[in-house]
Amino acid sequence: MNPQRELLYKDITDKILKSAFEVYNDLRYGFLEKVYENALLLALRKNGALAEQQKADYKIEFGGYPWLKKNIP
């Protein structure tokens, strides 16, 4: 990569990397993914990024009974 070339989204890239390293340096390893997701959301917001937690709808069938869980954060 050319060192003279600027990144297209440098500001948000810096915030994302800073936040990710803060979470890793504070928590290290061994937690469930959800713990890191929550911590990263807090770090992104603290560092001035507009961030929203992921949401998803899941259709699950268990024991022959279907059910829908909405917006599992």
Does 46 score more than 60 pLDDT?
yes
* E-strand stretches of 3-62: 56-62
In a domain, 50, yes or no: yes
Q: Is the pLDDT of residue 69 over 80?
A: no
Angle separating helix axes 33-46 and 10-27, nearest 10 degrees: 130
Q: Does residue 5 sit within a domain?
A: no
Q: How many C-beta neighbours within 10 Å does residue 72 have?
A: 10
Asked if the structure places residue 2 within a domain, the reply is no
Q: What is the pLDDT of residues 11-25, one digit of tens each?
A: 999 999 999 999 999
Q: How far apart are CA 39 and CA 16, in angstroms?
A: 12
Containing domain of residue 19, as a range?
10-72
Task: Flag whether 20 is in a domain.
Answer: yes
Q: Is residue 42 part of a domain?
A: yes
Residue 4 lies in a domain: no
User: Full-prediction pTM beyond 0.85?
Assistant: no
Asked, for residue 63, whether it belongs to a domain, the answer is yes
Instruction: Tell me how many helices (H) and strands (E) the chain has.
Output: 2, 2
Domain count of the fold of the chain: 1
CA quadruple 62, 64, 65, 70: dihedral, nearest 10: 50
Report yes or no on 1 lying in a domain: no
